[in-house]
């Protein structure tokens, strides 16, 4: 049931993107520290990581909500310019569904108005090839998002909708602009388990029917297994492993990915490797390989045996390229491969 | 094994202007010392209401019928003094949303020592302090961190503080309501490891509530799946997670696909329809409207919880030839 | 994909939503006993104000046409007695209702407009304009109301409109602060970011998203502001800053004070206007509190 991407040239890519936030006290938090990521038309990419990994920041940077401190984001090969006009243009091509489904809908607007907002802002009625009116476009978007018959929800307020319905309304609002790429930040994490499958099936269905490319930000590897073509695993602002879903999830090579997969209860084959401590503060990123303080291979002597302990501690790793085959940012892996 | 918690035909209904609203309907459950029992279910299934009855914390407009026995005594009918003595000393609750359950303007140490000071007023300040230190070490936090405020801790650390608070008066029974929601996968694993370690070391009985079936599968001995206020499947964690019998339990289990399972690739399994409206529960099996295996007989009466295929299931279609 | 054209148009949908919201809020309001009492009291005063020509002869206000004696106590002819000029106190009271309510409402309108605009802008935008407006708000808030009002009234001259302006210009900071804090919190809500994602500029975000969500609180605050405005007008008129040609409750109190009505025991001159002011202010306060509870669900008792 999977459709391969329609072309090889990336539709949206981040090139060497870095994002830093300066807190009021003056300390600098590095949310993204050099990331290369690319999405091809019709491809589903999952950005997987825990909190502090920078995945949400990367998603917001990709849609233009966040200006990178270094590097650039390119749409169809052209870098984004952050002028109001060009951003408005980008809105028509790349849309995002935010993490908090409940808070993303204006409580004083009906479903109709929430979905029509984008249409009105982008004046899509004027240049609709099929010459539809606004209510028709709203109904079409809601129907595409699985709310049928759409007229039944036109007048509902957000508080009258269930979690799944709210998420569909948000997706409809994004679809109404006919984007070519949709970024979904934790699309199902706030929803009941039994509704998850439906929303994920909807996203897959949109790829099938509209050729929509999707970037899914999630902490849930099961979700990535369900719908993603490719995965980029992120840790503390960098991509540490990326490749196709099968490659990364069935044959993980980075110690972090391996640990992450080992604690996911759905997999019985791997012995759980529960890492100690928590993800470090983005204001104090460890030197060398940023994962080395928590790396099981560093702690249990494997790195020692391979003779790369000093590299782990002091040598920073290069930014992983966005496309190509299964790549890993790890000194141990590079050592073993060479 | 000692029975720490027994729920006998427990039902809870909320009094509303439109009549009683059922939240929990006829639940029977037992938790023994050294055992971990999980309750799985989604929002609205009644699990939080269930938890609140264990220490008689349910809201005033809730009507409770049936028995809630903690260490053999009925919590719902005992006197106020007995209840206060029982709360925290015999059974304790780890609440969900640790960020909001901790008082932001009090130091962690003050909050953990509060139940200790209430239950053992004779203890000296030094003794209380050393007990707090002991508790923090037990949950994997350095004793020196007792002087911080909640906002200075990470999500995982706050959850550990909540667990330390629950252990303060050495209860025999601990109930954890969604202890790992909103935590990262790795931190979740750490907390679950901690909790199963405590059960082994202290011999307490643990009841965990979660909407995430996979969390329960890892750490529980037995799991009960709730839907619309009733238990629809009850068995060992292996059985319920590995080979669920009730259609709802199957749907829940499928919602979290196994990585590596080729069948789950590009086919997310979902459950159509909406969760049941407690105002308007369907006649017969409350899951029937969403069930792919429902037949006419399902709408006639609520299927009883029967021992079928080695566990308890409330479904007339299970075990059919 | 083709769908049948829906029969609802965008405008009808917006109208239906508003109608449904009104119905819902009215139902909630009806459940509030104190709010209803306030509403009824206010209703009575509004009716009296509107029907003044029918209830009392306007000529009764003219000193030259006064028919009664000086400070007569209430009788069957003059239900509330007369003032020092022989005018019927009841007539003055009825016509005074108009002035007091009108000035209160106009002053509130001025105050709300200034306060809302400044509150919105200083809350929504960052940068030095917003900071400047905020400092301005704080500054105005700190200045004592009465001295400023007196100075302005003296400078502008004694007329009804000026009194309304004076009150409006001195009471907007409270509203501005309330709206600013609401704006600050709404600004962070995800739906504002969603609007940005859909291509909304700052103006659209502010007027289509922030303002409608701030309005309920504004509405509740307005009724309380009217109460304060009426009280302020009464105070200023009592101090002799009001329009000398118009009769309001405050000017009646001024008159009563001037002729020593308390020492002479002419209670009919002092007590009625005082009671009226209290009742109207109470009415607005009760309504305002009921509205606050309706629009801010967190204040509702379970």
Helix (H, G, I), strand (E, B) or coil at B4: strand
Q: Does A50 touch chain C (CB under 8 A)?
A: no
- All structural domains of chain B: 3-90+171-245 (3.40.50.300)
Give residue C131's pLDDT. Answer: 92
Task: Looking at chain C, list the stretches that DSSP marks H as alpha helix, in order from N- to C-terminal side.
Answer: 10-30, 33-50, 52-55, 89-124, 128-142, 145-156, 160-187, 190-197, 202-204, 211-238, 249-258, 261-264, 267-295
In the prediction, which pLDDT does A5 show?
A: 64
User: Which positions in chain A touch C209 (Cβ < 8 Å)?
Assistant: 106
Chain B's closest residue to A278, CA to CA, is B187
Neighbours of B19 (CB within 10 A): 10
- The verdict on a CB contact (< 8 Å) between A65 and C193 is yes
Residue A318 lies inside a defined structural domain of this protein = yes
Q: How many CB pairs under 8 A join A and B?
A: 121
d(CA B56, CA B194): 27
Residue A122 per-residue DSSP state:
T
The answer to whether the beta carbons of residues A192 and A169 sit under 8 Å apart is no
Q: What is the DSSP letter of C74?
A: P
Residue B293 has pLDDT above 60, yes or no: yes
Q: Which is nearest to A216 in space by CA: A9, A45, A19? A: A45
Task: Tell me which residue range forms the domain holding A319.
Answer: 250-337
Contacts by A97-100, CB closer than 8 A, 24 or more apart = A97/A167, A97/A170, A97/A171, A97/A174, A97/A182, A97/A183, A97/A184, A97/A185, A97/A187, A98/A170, A98/A185, A98/C190, A98/C193, A98/C194, A98/C197, A99/A56, A99/A185, A99/A186, A99/A189, A99/A190, A99/A217, A99/C190, A100/A190, A100/C190
Give me the percent of chain A exceeding a pLDDT of 90.
46
- Cα–Cα distance for residue pair B316/B305, rounded to 1 Å: 10
Residue C4's pLDDT band (cuts 50, 70, 90): very low
Tell me if A170 sits within 8 A of A118, measured CB to CB: no
Residue A278 lies in a domain: yes
Neighbours of A96 (CB within 10 A): 26
Indicate if the pLDDT at residue B212 is higher than 90: no
Cβ atoms of C206 and C120 within 8 Å: the answer is yes
Candidates A135, A124, A145; CA nearest to A203 is: A145
Each residue's pLDDT tens digit, C69-95: 788 888 877 888 888 888 888 888 888
| Main-chain phi, psi angles of B135, to 5 degrees | -65, -40
CA dist., res. B52 & res. B172, Å (int): 17
- How far is A116 from chain C, CA to nearest CA, in Å? 9
Where exactly are the structural domains of chain C?
Answer: 100-251+273-299
Instruction: Kindly state whether residue A28 falls inside one of the protein's structural domains.
Output: no
pLDDT value at position B218? 81
CA–CA distances in Å: residue A66 to residues A11, A44, A52, B262: 18, 22, 16, 37
* Edge-to-edge strand list for the sheet holding B311-313: B91-94, B173-177, B205-210, B36-40, B222-227, B230-236, B311-313, B306-308
The C-alpha angle A129, A130, A136, rounded to 5 degrees, equals 125
Say what the pLDDT of residue C244 is: 83
List the one residue out of A8, A90, A92, A78 whose CA is nearest residue A43.
Answer: A8
Which residues from C are below 8 Å from A when comparing CB atoms? 1, 3, 5-6, 8-10, 13-14, 16-17, 20, 189-191, 193-201, 204, 208-209, 212-213
CA distance C176 to chain A (A): 22
- pLDDT of B277 reads 81
Is residue A162 domain-resident? no
Phi then psi dihedrals of residue B262, to 5 deg: -60, -30
pLDDT exceeds 60 at position C3? no
Give the closest-approach CA distance of C190 to chain A in angstroms. 5
Interhelix angle for A193-210 vs A163-175, to 10°?
20
Is the sign of the CA dihedral C249, C253, C254, C255 positive or negative? positive
Rounded-to-10 torsion of CA A74, A78, A82, A88: -100
Predicted local distance difference test score (pLDDT) of residue A14: 92
The listed range with the strongest mean pLDDT (A200-214, A300-314, B281-295, C234-248) is A200-214
**Which 3 state secondary structure label does DSSP give B109?**
helix
Q: Which residues in chain A are contacts of B212 at CB distance < 8 A?
A: 193
> Is B252–A193 a contact, with Cβ atoms under 8 angstroms apart?
yes
User: Is ipTM beyond 0.90?
Assistant: no
Q: Kindly tell me if the per-residue pLDDT of A147 is higher than 60.
A: yes
Distance from CA of A186 to the nearest CA of C (A): 14
Task: Record the tokens describing residue C180, joined without a space.
Answer: 């600013």
A59 touches chain C (CB under 8 A): no
Q: Are C215 and C186 in contact (CB under 8 A)?
A: no
Q: Check C10 against A173: CB less than 8 A apart.
A: no
Work out the mean pLDDT of chain B and round it to a whole number. Answer: 88
| Nearest C-alpha neighbor of B183 from the set B155, B146, B202 | B155
pLDDT digits (tens, 9 = 90+) for C254-285: 988 888 888 888 888 889 999 999 999 999 98
Q: Is A265 on the interface with B (CB under 8 A)?
A: yes
Contact (Cβ atoms closer than 8 angstroms) between residue A249 and residue A224:
yes
Q: Return the closest-CA partner of residue B199 out of B179, B226, B169, B175.
A: B175
User: Is C213 within 8 Å of A107 (Cβ atoms)?
Assistant: yes
A2/B184 Cβ within 8 A: no
Rounded average pLDDT over C139-147: 87
The minimal CB distance from A121 to the residues C20, C190, C199 is found for: C199
Neighbouring subunits of A (3+ Cβ pairs under 8 A): B, C
- Closest to C209 (Cβ–Cβ): which among A100, A106, A143? A106
Within 8 A by CB and 6+ apart from C71, the residues are C81, C82, C83, C84, C259, C261, C264, C266, C269
Does position C302 have pLDDT exceeding 50, yes or no? no
Q: Three-state secondary structure along C105-145?
A: HHHHHHHHHHHHHHHHHHHHCCCHHHHHHHHHHHHHHHCCH
In this prediction, residue A179 carries a pLDDT of: 93
Q: Which two tokens stand for residue C263?
A: 């020492």
Average pLDDT over chain A, rounded to an integer: 88
Smallest CA–CA distance, residue B268 to chain A, in Å, is 5
Structure tokens at A193: 């388990």
Location of structure tokens 């439109």: B18
Average pLDDT over residues B107-131: 91
Top pLDDT among A269 and A277 is at A277
Average pLDDT over residues A235-241: 92
- What DSSP state is assigned to residue C82? B
- The pLDDT of residue C25: 80
pLDDT at C7: 57
- Record: contact B42-A266, CB cut-off 8 A: no
Q: What residues in C contact A140, CB-CB < 8 Å?
A: 1, 3
pLDDT at residue C2 is higher than 60: no
> Residue C134's pLDDT is what?
93
Q: List alpha helices for chain A, DSSP H.
A: 55-62, 84-93, 111-121, 134-144, 163-175, 193-210, 221-227, 245-250, 255-263, 296-299, 302-306, 309-314, 331-337
Angle at A89 between CA A84 and CA A93, to 5 degrees: 140
* Spatial contact of A172 and A142, defined as CB atoms under 8 Å apart: yes
- CB of A143 within 8 Å of any CB in chain C? yes
What is the CB-side half-sphere exposure of residue B258 using CA atoms within 13 A?
13
| pLDDT, mean of residues A170-185 | 94
Total domains in the fold of chain A: 1
Q: Which residue bears the tokens 């209830």?
A: C55
> Quick one: pLDDT at residue C77?
79
Rounded Cα–Cα distance for residues C125 and C145 (Å): 28
pLDDT the model gives residue A1:
47
The span from the CA of A11 to the CA of A75, in Å, is 6
Contact A104/C191, CB-based, under 8 Å?
A: yes
**B271 and A197: CB-CB below 8 Å?**
yes
Task: Give the minimum alpha-carbon distance from A196 to chain B in angstroms, rounded to a whole number.
Answer: 6
Q: Chain A contacts of C201, Cβ < 8 Å?
A: 84
What does the alpha-carbon distance between residue A93 and residue A75 come to, in Å, rounded to a whole number? Answer: 9
Residue A192: closest C-alpha in chain B: B42
Average pLDDT over residues B288-312: 86
For residue C184, pLDDT beyond 90: yes
What is the CATH T-level fold of the domain C100-251+273-299, as seen in this structure?
A: MetI-like fold (1.10.3720)
The single residue listed with the structure tokens 């409770």 is B64
pLDDT tens digits, A5-14: 667 788 999 9
pTM for this predicted structure: 0.86
Question: Do residues A44 and A6 lie in contact, with contact meaning Cβ atoms separated by under 8 Å?
Answer: no
Long-range contacts of C141-148, Cβ-Cβ distance < 8 Å, separation of 24 or more:
C141/C173, C141/C174, C141/C177, C143/C170, C145/C170, C145/C171, C145/C232, C146/C235
The answer to the question of residue A330 being in a domain is yes
Residue A293 inside a domain? The answer is yes
Q: Between the CA of residue C186 and those of A103, A330, C127, C179, C190, what are the distances in Å?
A: 11, 44, 18, 10, 9
Answer yes or no: do A265 and B187 touch at CB < 8 A: no
Q: Which subunits count as partners of chain C given 3+ CB pairs below 8 Å?
A: A
Do A278 and B271 make contact, defined as CB atoms within 8 angstroms?
no
Within a domain: A315: yes
| Residue A195 resides in a domain | no
By mean pLDDT, which of B25-29, B134-138, B250-254 is the weakest? B250-254
From residue C252, alpha-carbon distances to A177, C45, C245 in Å are 65, 17, 12
Mean pLDDT calculated for residue range A73-96 = 89
Confidence (pLDDT) at B317: 85
Instruction: Determine phi and psi for C282, rounding to 5 degrees.
Output: -60, -45
Q: How many helices (H) and strands (E) does chain A have?
A: 13, 11
d(CA A298, CA A305): 10
**Cβ distance of C10 and A135 shorter than 8 Å:** yes
Interior angle at CA B223, CA A278 and CA B286, nearest 5: 115
Mean pLDDT of chain C: 85
CA distance B147 to B131: 14
Inform me whether the C-beta atom of residue A76 falls under 8 Å from chain B C-beta atoms: no
């Amino acid at each position: 049931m999977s459709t391969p991407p329609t072309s090889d040239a990336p539709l949206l890519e981040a090139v060497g993107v870095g994002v830093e936030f300066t807190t009021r006290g003056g300390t600098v938090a590095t949310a993204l520290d050099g990331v290369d990521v690319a999405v091809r038309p019709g491809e589903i990419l999952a950005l997987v990581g825990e909190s502090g990994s920078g995945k949400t920041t990367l998603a917001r940077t990709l849609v233009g909500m966040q200006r990178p401190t270094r590097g650039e984001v390119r749409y169809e090969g052209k870098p984004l310019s952050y002028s109001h006009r060009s951003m408005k243009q980008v809105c028509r091509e790349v849309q995002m569904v935010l993490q908090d489904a409940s808070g993303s809908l204006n409580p004083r607007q009906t479903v109709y108005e929430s979905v029509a907002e984008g249409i009105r802002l982008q004046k899509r009625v004027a240049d609709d090839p099929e010459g539809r009116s606004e209510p028709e476009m709203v109904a079409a978007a809601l129907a595409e998002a699985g709310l049928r018959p759409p007229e039944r929800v036109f007048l509902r307020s957000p508080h009258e909708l269930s979690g799944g319905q709210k998420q569909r309304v948000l997706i409809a609002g994004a679809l109404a602009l006919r984007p070519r790429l949709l970024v979904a930040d934790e699309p199902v994490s706030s929803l009941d388990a039994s509704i998850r499958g439906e929303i994920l099936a909807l996203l897959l269905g949109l790829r099938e029917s509209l050729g929509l490319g999707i970037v899914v930000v999630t902490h849930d590897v099961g979700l990535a297994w369900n719908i993603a073509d490719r995965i980029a695993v992120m840790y503390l602002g960098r991509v540490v492993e990326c490749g196709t879903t099968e490659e990364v999830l069935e044959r993980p090579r980075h110690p972090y990915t391996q640990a992450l997969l080992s604690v996911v209860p759905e997999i019985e084959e791997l012995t759980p490797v529960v890492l100690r401590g928590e993800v470090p503060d983005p204001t104090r990123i460890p030197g060398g390989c940023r994962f080395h303080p928590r790396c099981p291979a560093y702690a249990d002597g494997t790195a020692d045996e391979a003779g790369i302990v000093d590299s782990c501690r002091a040598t920073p790793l290069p930014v992983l390229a966005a496309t190509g085959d299964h790549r890993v940012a790890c000194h141990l892996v590079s050592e073993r491969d060479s | 094994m000692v029975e720490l918690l027994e729920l006998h035909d427990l039902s809870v209904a909320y009094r509303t202007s439109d009549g009683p609203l059922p939240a929990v309907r006829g639940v029977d459950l037992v938790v023994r010392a050294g055992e971990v029992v999980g309750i799985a279910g989604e929002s609205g299934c009644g699990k939080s209401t269930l938890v609140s009855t264990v220490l008689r914390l349910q809201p005033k407009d809730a009507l409770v019928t049936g028995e809630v026995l903690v260490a053999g005594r009925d919590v719902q009918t005992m006197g106020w003094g007995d209840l206060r003595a029982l709360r925290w000393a015999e059974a304790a609750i780890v609440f969900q949303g640790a960020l909001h359950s901790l008082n932001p303007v009090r130091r962690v140490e003050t909050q953990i020592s509060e139940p200790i000071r209430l239950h053992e007023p004779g203890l000296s300040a030094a003794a209380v302090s050393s007990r707090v230190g002991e508790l923090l070490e037990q949950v994997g936090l350095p004793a020196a961190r007792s002087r911080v405020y909640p906002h200075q801790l990470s999500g995982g650390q706050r959850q550990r503080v909540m667990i330390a608070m629950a252990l303060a008066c050495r209860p025999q029974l601990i109930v954890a309501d969604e202890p790992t929601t909103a935590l990262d996968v790795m931190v979740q694993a750490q907390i679950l490891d901690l909790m199963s370690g405590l059960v082994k070391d202290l011999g307490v009985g643990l009841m965990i509530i979660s909407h995430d079936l996979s969390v329960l599968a890892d750490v529980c001995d037995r799991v009960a799946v709730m839907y619309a206020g009733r238990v629809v499947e009850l068995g060992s964690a292996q059985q319920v997670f590995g080979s669920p019998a009730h259609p709802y339990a199957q749907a829940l289990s499928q919602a979290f696909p196994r990585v590596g399972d080729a069948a789950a690739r590009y086919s997310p399994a979902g459950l159509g329809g909406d969760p049941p409206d407690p105002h308007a529960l369907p006649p017969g099996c409350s899951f029937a409207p969403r069930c792919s295996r429902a037949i006419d007989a399902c709408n006639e009466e609520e299927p009883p919880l029967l021992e079928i295929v080695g566990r308890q299931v409330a479904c007339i279609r299970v075990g059919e030839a | 994909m083709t769908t049948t054209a829906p029969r609802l148009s965008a405008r009808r949908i917006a109208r239906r939503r508003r109608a449904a919201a009104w119905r819902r809020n009215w139902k909630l309001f009806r459940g509030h006993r104190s709010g209803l009492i306030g509403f009824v009291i206010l209703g009575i005063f509004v009716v009296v104000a509107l029907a003044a020509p029918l209830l009392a002869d306007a000529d009764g206000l003219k000193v030259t046409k006064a028919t009664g004696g000086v400070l007569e106590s209430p009788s069957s002819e003059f239900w509330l007695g007369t003032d020092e000029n022989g005018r019927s106190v009841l007539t003055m009271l009825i016509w005074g209702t108009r002035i007091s309510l009108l000035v209160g409402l106009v002053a509130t309108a001025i105050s709300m407009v200034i306060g809302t605009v400044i509150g919105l802008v200083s809350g929504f935008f960052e940068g030095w304009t917003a900071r400047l407006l905020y400092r301005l708000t704080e500054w105005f808030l700190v200045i004592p109301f009465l001295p400023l009002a007196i100075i302005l009234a003296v400078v502008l001259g004694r007329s009804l409109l000026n009194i309304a302006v004076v009150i409006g210009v001195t009471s907007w900071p409270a509203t501005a602060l309330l709206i600013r804090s609401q704006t600050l919190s709404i600004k962070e809500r995800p739906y504002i970011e969603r609007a940005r994602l859909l291509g909304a500029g700052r103006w659209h975000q502010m007027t289509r998203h922030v303002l409608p969500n701030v309005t309920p609180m504004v509405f509740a605050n307005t009724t309380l502001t009217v109460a304060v405005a009426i009280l302020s007008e009464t105070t200023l008129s009592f101090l002799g800053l009001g329009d000398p040609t118009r009769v309001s409750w405050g000017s009646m109190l001024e008159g009563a004070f001037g002729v020593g009505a308390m020492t002479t025991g002419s209670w009919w001159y002092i007590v009625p206007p005082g009671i009226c002011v209290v009742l109207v202010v109470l009415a607005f306060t009760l309504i305002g509190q009921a509205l606050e509870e309706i629009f801010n669900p967190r204040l509702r008792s379970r």
